[in-house]
Amino acid sequence: MPDILLIDDNEEILTANRSYLTGQGFSVTCADTGIKALSCLNKSSYDCIVLDVLLPDLDGFSICKAARTITNTPILFLSCLEEADDKVKGLTSGGDDYMTKPYSLKELAARINAMLRRSGGYEFKRGDFYIDADNKIIHAIGRNILLSEKEFNLFMLFYENPGKVFSKSEILDRIWNGNTDNGVVAVTVLKLRRKIEFAEAVIGSIENSYGTGYSLLPPEREKTV
């Protein structure tokens, strides 16, 4: 079970994030000040840190720099500051990703999972649904779904970007680096859809937006904070 440290001075946001992420199979620790956050980091290790910028004592950029002296844990900034300079400052201070408020809880979980996967040893679990990236297996509703490399990469592209429509040309560039054609894209999407359609209730469904592209429709409507 991945351990997540949430740092935010907004109690409502902390409560919502903790509740959702706990339901997604994460172990969650919360801190509402920079001092408490640094105390947590000195006492325990975490698999991912979700960090606000505007805190009552220390700013998130300073906390990120301090965290980088003791850990390589992935850090996701979650802030109301949306200027490009703020995002650049967050990434150059040691952050791995930057999201702005308001945001989707499902996207937040997907971005955390993406960072965990990139940092190695990724295995996402939620009840009777989990993703084993090392073996390219999705387990859902008591069945193991073995995917090819391209099918797995395509699934993760959809899963980490819920509701986002990707055109065939975008998928071609991201999954095949442009080294195939739209026909192969369509066939691979169809194979993936057939493999996961029995588990739409927990995974979601791949939808074809005619003339636009493909997306993964979540099993339930996204909630926004």
User: What pLDDT is recorded for position 222?
Assistant: 44
Instruction: State residue 69's pLDDT score.
Output: 87
pLDDT at 225 over 70: no
Same domain, 80 and 112: yes
In this structure, is residue 222 part of a structural domain?
Answer: no
Q: Which of 55, 89, 118 is the last residue of a domain?
A: 118
Q: Do residues 61 and 162 both lie within one domain?
A: no
Number of domains in the chain: 2
Peptide bond just before 102 cis, omega within 30 deg: yes
- pLDDT greater at residue 116 or residue 18: 18
How does DSSP classify residue 198?
Answer: G
Would you call 222 helix, strand, or coil by DSSP? coil
Task: Write down which residue in 94, 118, 142 finishes a domain.
Answer: 118
Residue 11: pLDDT band (50, 70, 90) is very high
What is the per-residue pLDDT for 224?
45
CA distance linking residue 34 with residue 189, whole number of Å? 45
Tokens representing 154 are 């395509």
Range of the domain at 17: 3-118
CA-closest candidate to residue 189, choices 153, 160, 222: 153
Does residue 221 carry a pLDDT above 90?
no
Q: What is the pLDDT of residue 26?
A: 86
Q: What is the mean pLDDT of residues 1-24?
A: 90
> Which of 125-129, 135-139, 143-147, 189-193 shows the lowest per-residue confidence on average (mean pLDDT)?
125-129
| Residue 225 maps to a domain | no
Statement to judge: residues 17 and 99 lie in one domain: yes
**Percent of the chain clearing pLDDT 70 (strictly above):** 92
Cβ-proximal residues to 217 (8 Å cutoff; 6+ apart), any chain: 162, 163, 204, 205, 206, 207
pLDDT digits (tens, 9 = 90+) for 151-185: 998 998 898 788 889 999 999 988 888 888 888 99
> Per the domain annotation, does 224 fall within a domain?
no
Look at residues 84, 118, 152 and tell me which one is the last residue of a structural domain: 118
Report how far apart, in Å, the C-alpha atoms of 168 and of each of 98, 149, 174, 193 are: 27, 18, 10, 15
Query: pLDDT by residue (tens digit) across 38-91?
Result: 999 988 888 899 999 999 998 999 999 999 888 888 999 999 988 889 889 999
